[in-house]
Chains A and B, each alone.
Chain A
Amino acid sequence: MAIAPSRRVVWKEAEGLPPVRASRLTGAWRRLARNKLALVGSLVALLYVLIGLIGPFFAPYDYAEQDLLAASQPPLSDGHLLGTDQLGRDMLSRLVVGIRISLLVGFGVTLISLVVGTLAGAVAAYYRGWVDTFISGVVELTWGFPLILIAVILAGAMGPGLPATVLAVGLINWAGFARIVRGEVLHLREAEYVQAARALGVGDRRILARHVMPNVLAPALVMASYYVALAIIVEAGLSFIGMGAQPPLPSLGVMIAEGRNYMLLNHWVTTIPGLAIVAVVLGLNLLGDGLRDILDPRLRSG
């Protein structure tokens, strides 16, 4: 009977705790804060979103404005915090617009594919039958197809430019979300606690909102942070080889490509946008690793 008192103590403590929902959320935040790398990653992502949203409004110059008399100024020179490129265009003004383009392709398109993919996956798993066969067939074809190849083929058809890149990212990435959500929903609808909720007479909508969606969103969010990073890399790479954004639009890839020939003399023209890409991609990957550890213990590696 030695166990009984301590049990009562635990019971008492449990009564004093805040409602389960709040504790689950604060628990997640606490784990995020403890995971240093994930914290850094989310701060970097947040910083980029801020820069992308409001940065261009505070840009000191127009991104395409040339000033040949002030060409190739190093960073920290008069009136140009990050210097100027070989045509005298202000690097800082170009960088914030470049980051906005990266975010548009990264976050914007990923958000749309997340919504479309989640819906498609949930519908396939919910209705099953021929709907599922059809959606799964399309997903299997699309999922994992090399994004860059599709983007270049689309650039061939539509002419090189951002629309081709955006379309390619959207066309491919929704399938990744659909795949993971479908599997998760199929698994969850048979889960015992969902059956139990149904047996208790809980409505479909409430089951979906309270029991299915939170569990589906966790892996989808982890995937999203990797996909944003991937989209940013692909956009920059395509723009670098002339298949994506076209000059004078200062996509980070375009900036690097234009500075490439001056690398030995004014390295900052390539270094600054290069570091900007590396930082955001590293940040997002760390965030993804951290989110995976926090939200989805089954995917935890090592």
Chain B
Amino acid sequence: MGAYLARRGLRMMVIMLLASIAVFYSLRFAPGDPSGVVLNPLALEEVREAYREQLGLNQPIVVQYFVYVSNLARGELGTSLVTGKSITDLLASHGTNSLILGLSAVGLSYLIGLPLGVLAAAKRNSAVDQVAMGVGIVGMGMPNFWLALLLIYLFSSKLHWLPSAGCCGAKHLIMPTLVLAAEGTAVTMRMMRSSMLEHLGQDFVRTHRAKGLSEWTIVGGRVFRNALIPIVSLSGLRIGWLIGYTLVVETIFNWPGVGYLLVDAVLRRDYPVVQFFSLLLVFTVVVANLLADLVYGLVDPRIRHA
């Protein structure tokens, strides 16, 4: 286990190093430079040159990269070119908002998806099953931004129940959470259903039935625990995708989280912000995958990390 952890840790560091180099280099070659963003379009070339010098942009890229990494290591994350806010502050406020939204969406999708999947499998081909499969197909086929528009149209424009965008009250959280959770709910439900069905057909279930255990104990206890394993093994991937969807959903609802910040920074060419938050999200995805692999080993004793 220790050797496994060390190997995975090392691999993670290599990934982050490569990712940071890729992001850093590609942003340096990006069309347009920060002086075009911040300064008046009519600014003199000397002023632009001075500005570039101030940011250290006239040094070789390798030097710039090492300056950036050493600053990062010392916790100096820099400031936004557009708003002048420090990235540390942005991380605190936007990071918290993203965590709130992300956790409520994950929670909601498991809270609905798991029981619905179990129920659909236990009552196979019943009305419940049909409804669940319908929810699954629609939930996976409905693009999340389109679902968002429909919800806004219904709950904000027509019924005036919920605010169409903004932050940070409980009412503001409802629609973004629903939209972000929709696809995850559908996927979880479908996976849980097929995983349950697979296990319900196995010999140990027949043994339990023969022993006279109640159907409730068998389905809810024995089968459920085994059927959870594929859900856990895919949760790392799911979290990665959730982070991707966060970019879209936060932008639609103007929810001031990391995703909203990153998309906005890309549109405004705010390079320090793009650089830091791209790397942060890549890092989060990599860590989520690692954690899911470790948990997988814990839930399923057959899988031992040698």
Contact = CB atoms under 8 A, between A and B. Distances in A.
A156 B142 contact: no
Contacts of B282: 149, 153
A149 B285 contact: yes
Given A237-B144, A242-B267, A281-B141, A147 B248 contact: no
Interface stretch (B58-66, B217-225, B238-246): B238-246
Given A237-B248, A240-B248, A282-B141, A160 B146 contact: no
Interface of A: 141, 144-149, 152-160, 229, 233, 236-238, 240-243, 253, 256, 260, 263-264, 267, 270, 274, 277-278, 281-282, 285-286, 301-302
Given A241-B252, A285-B137, A157 B241 contact: no
B197 A263 contact: no
A152 B236 CA distance: 20
Interface in B1-59: 15, 23, 26-27, 29-32
A159 B30 CA distance: 7
A277 B143 contact: yes
List the 3 closest pairs (A to B, CB-CB), nearest first: A146-B244, A148-B244, A157-B26
Contacts of A236: 143, 145
Contacts of B157: 263-264
A235 to B, nearest CB: 10
A242 B260 CA distance: 12
A237 B245 CA distance: 9
Given A147-B244, A302-B124, A156 B30 contact: yes
B247 A241 contact: yes
A236 B266 CA distance: 18
B263 A240 contact: no
B243 A229 contact: no
B23 A153 contact: yes
Contacts of A233: 143
A286 B137 contact: yes
Nearest to B31: A159
B181 interface: no
Given A148-B244, A241-B145, A285-B137, 6 more contacts: A149-B243, A152-B262, A157-B30, A158-B26, A160-B266, A241-B263
Contacts of B281: 149
A141 B190 CA distance: 26
Interface of B: 15, 23, 26-27, 29-32, 124, 137-138, 140-146, 149, 153, 157, 190, 193-194, 197, 236-237, 240-241, 243-245, 247-248, 251-252, 262-263, 265-267, 274, 278, 281-282, 285, 289
10 contacts: A141-B15, A147-B244, A149-B244, A153-B23, A158-B26, A238-B248, A241-B145, A241-B263, A281-B143, A302-B194
B266 A277 contact: no
A141 B19 CA distance: 11
A223 to B, nearest CB: 15
B184 to A, nearest CB: 13
Contact of A285 (B31, B140, B144, B267): B140
Q: Which of B145, B241, B281 has the most CB of A within 10 A?
A: B145
A241 B265 CA distance: 13
Contact of A270 (B32, B142, B149, B194): B149
Q: Which of B140, B194, B243 has the most CB of A within 10 A?
A: B140
B267 A160 contact: yes
A301 B190 CA distance: 9
Contacts of B143: 233, 236-237, 274, 277-278, 281
Contacts of B153: 263-264, 267
A242 B263 contact: yes
Nearest to B241: A146
B266 to A, nearest CB: 4
Contacts of A141: 15
Given A148-B245, A152-B266, A278-B143, A256 B149 contact: yes
B244 to A, nearest CB: 3
Given A156-B278, A263-B153, A286-B137, A240 B145 contact: yes
A263 B149 contact: yes
B61 to A, nearest CB: 14
Contacts of A148: 244-245, 247-248
Nearest to B239: A146
Contacts of A267: 153
Contacts of B15: 141
Contact of B251 (A154, A229, A241, A264): A241
A277 B149 CA distance: 14
A278 B245 contact: no
A152 B244 CA distance: 9
A236 to B, nearest CB: 6
B149 A144 contact: no
B263 A229 contact: no
Nearest to B284: A149
A141 B194 CA distance: 27
Contact of B141 (A147, A270, A278): A278
Nearest to B281: A149
B79 to A, nearest CB: 18
A302 B126 CA distance: 13
Nearest to A286: B137
Contacts of B274: 153, 156
